[in-house]
Amino acid sequence: MPDQGDATGRTGGSTGGVRSTPPAAVRIEGLWKRFGEQVAVAGIDLEIPAGRFIGLVGPNGAGKTTTLSMVTGLLRPDMGRVFVAGHDVWADPVEVKSRIGVLPEGLRLFERLSGRELLGYMGRLRGLPGEETDKRATQLLEVLDLAGSQHKLVVDYSTGMRKKIGLAAALLHNPEVLFLDEPFEGVDPVSAQTIRGVLERYTASGATVVFSSHVMELVESLCDWVAVMAGGHIRAAGPLADVRGDAPSLQNAFLELVGAQDRAAGDSLDWLGGGR
């Protein structure tokens, strides 16, 4: 594969600094995915430290969702390996699947179950005892402010409620690493605050949250470690301060990294507005 060397070369140099933390939560080695002629993920290497709030940022189409799908075992990579808590995702799914929780983008759920039924179902599929599942479900519904609509069918939930019930389903089995794809997209500020509170409490206990987003302010305020993706490559990775560098904000650093500054419309849109 041609530009693999290129990709690793550009990976931020600060990964070495975080090696002090015990085994990495996620280790990605030479991951590739191609859809037809389009290369979605072009050979990425990344080591994500455990016990942190990790942000995976990048413009639309950067390969964030594809990467997260491959890391969580939902999409088979063309090449490369992924380790979660030291276990190979594709060789040892038994060890990995019980240690991770996933909230994918799009969020298709079992629409014709109620919120409580969905949690009860997922817990039992995860092998939790029925009573324990129901106890955890009650608490999660309470904390996520869903207790009032627990008997409504998921099909009738709003976007924010769907994200919250999806998060509850992903947390139910107390995973070591939680992967969230755009968890705040389309979510109102109140629900976002609730989700945020739960996630902060969860990482404080030593668990790892990896979430993708393109809202830089959010990433800057939540994460202590970020990886920047663009065009299927990792452009930079490391503690927030290192990636931000001298730039005034993460937004500026990001635009610089993905090479998207100073892209104004010029006069190619001079028909837009004005003399109608």
Which residues form the interface with other proteins (CB under 8 A)? 35-36, 72-76, 93-94, 96-98, 102, 104, 106, 108-114, 116-117, 120-122, 124-127, 129-130, 150-153, 155-156, 169, 267-268, 270-271, 275-276
- Looking at the Cβ atoms of 37 and 262, the one nearer to other proteins is 37
Q: Which of 106, 105, 87 is nearest to 97 (CA)?
A: 87
Three-class SS of residue 203?
A: helix
Closest approach, Cβ 31 to other proteins, in A, equals 14
- In terms of DSSP bridges, do strands 87-88 and 79-84 run parallel, antiparallel, or are they unpaired? antiparallel
- Looking at the Cβ atoms of 115 and 238, the one nearer to other proteins is 115
Complete DSSP assignment for 47-116: EEPTTSEEEEE--TTSSHHHHHHHHTTSS--SEEEEEETTEETTT-HHHHHTTEEEE-SS----TTSBHH
CB 31 within 8 A of CB 82: yes
Q: What is the C-alpha separation between 233 and 248, in angstroms, rounded?
A: 24
The radius of gyration computed from the CA coordinates of the chain, to the nearest angstrom, equals 20
Closest approach, Cβ 106 to other proteins, in A, equals 7
- Looking at the Cβ atoms of 19 and 124, the one nearer to other proteins is 124
Q: What is the C-alpha separation between 124 and 132, in angstroms, rounded?
A: 10
User: Residue 241, class by beta-carbon neighbours within 10 Å (0-12 exposed, 13-18 middle, 19+ buried)?
Assistant: exposed
Helix (H) / strand (E) element for 122: namely helix 115-125
Distances in Å between the Cα of 127 and the Cα atoms of 55, 122, 123, 173 are 30, 9, 6, 9
Closest approach, Cβ 130 to other proteins, in A, equals 6
Where are any strands of DSSP class E within 141-224? 177-181, 208-213
Closest approach, Cβ 43 to other proteins, in A, equals 19
- Looking at the Cβ atoms of 86 and 245, the one nearer to other proteins is 86
Q: How many of the other CB atoms lie within 10 Å of CB of 227?
A: 28
- Looking at the Cβ atoms of 160 and 238, the one nearer to other proteins is 160
- Looking at the Cβ atoms of 82 and 250, the one nearer to other proteins is 82
Closest approach, Cβ 187 to other proteins, in A, equals 17
Closest approach, Cβ 191 to other proteins, in A, equals 16
- Looking at the Cβ atoms of 188 and 217, the one nearer to other proteins is 188
Closest approach, Cβ 1 to other proteins, in A, equals 20
